[in-house]
Amino acid sequence: MRQFINFENQICLVTGTGSPTGIGFQTAKILGELGGTVILVATTNRVDERVKELRNLNIKAAGYIADLMDRNQVKELVKNIINEYSKIDVLINNAGMAQVGYEEDFATFNEVTYESWDDSINRNLNITFNVTKEVLPHMTKNNYGRIVNTSSVTGPIVSNPGEAAYSAAKSAVIGMSRSIAIEVAKYNIMINNVLPGWIATASQTESEAAGGENTPAGRGGSAEEVANMNVFLASEKASYITGQAFIVDGGNTIQEYKGPKELYY
């Protein structure tokens, strides 16, 4: 993609980068390969391993450990990045559902606890709010920015049993983004959302893998395929695209029949 876009002299903050197979790390890798200085954030020291991998590829990278549900930690994180690099050009809000030591609660709505609901909203909506809230003033000051949020098809387009809170949070991310988009477009700041479907990362379950096999593409997507969309929307070329939601799901949500292919196709 270097012939088309590059991120030379840009500071790119990517959250949720602990997993070597995850969307966040793959996005950071491509941004770095295209010349960006990438700042990785995760909840554990796995981020140090990811930074080492990128530096071995001659990518300019740094890492921070932070709980992005803690607003004081978010403020400290952004302050440290600004002190070190003076600006943030790109923000990839990828942190959310999957986290070391955390198991998603699939209780039905009648059975879900208030604590579980609040935790899912904090994890899947408020993290994006917290980081965007701290980064956006710096982008406004610099009259430039690209923000890309990892939403999901779950919530905005479809849903599953036991995922009311997750669906509500991922839908809300898009609604929030649209309002922000209207407010900041005049500052050359574009904010968009990427909605992955069944993606074959390390956290994918057996049922999710089966879902991927029954997409029109016949497989689950790769983290890199989602990352490619993230990177384009994070580029200078995406200068007239804002407040939008881009589905990356191998055509799954456009098909009416989603059962085994042998019974229909």
Active site members: 166
* CA separation for the pair 238, 144 (Å, rounded): 12
User: In the 8-state DSSP scheme, what is residue 18?
Assistant: -
Q: Look-up: residue for tokens 């904010």?
A: 191
Alpha helix locations (H) across 15-163? Answer: 23-33, 46-56, 71-85, 114-121, 127-142
- 143: Cα within 13 Å, side-chain hemisphere: 1
Neighbours of 72 (CB within 10 A): 10
**Pairing assessment for the beta strands 90-93 and 61-65 based on DSSP bridges:** unpaired
Rg (CA), the chain: 18
At a CB cut-off of 8 Å and minimum separation 6, what does 261 contact? Answer: 214, 218
Q: Is 253 helix (H, G, I), strand (E, B) or coil?
A: helix
Tokens standing for residue 229 = 């969309």
First to last CA, the chain: 36
Q: Look-up: residue for tokens 């993609």?
A: 1
- 231: Cα within 13 Å, side-chain hemisphere: 27
User: In the 8-state DSSP scheme, what is residue 245?
Assistant: E
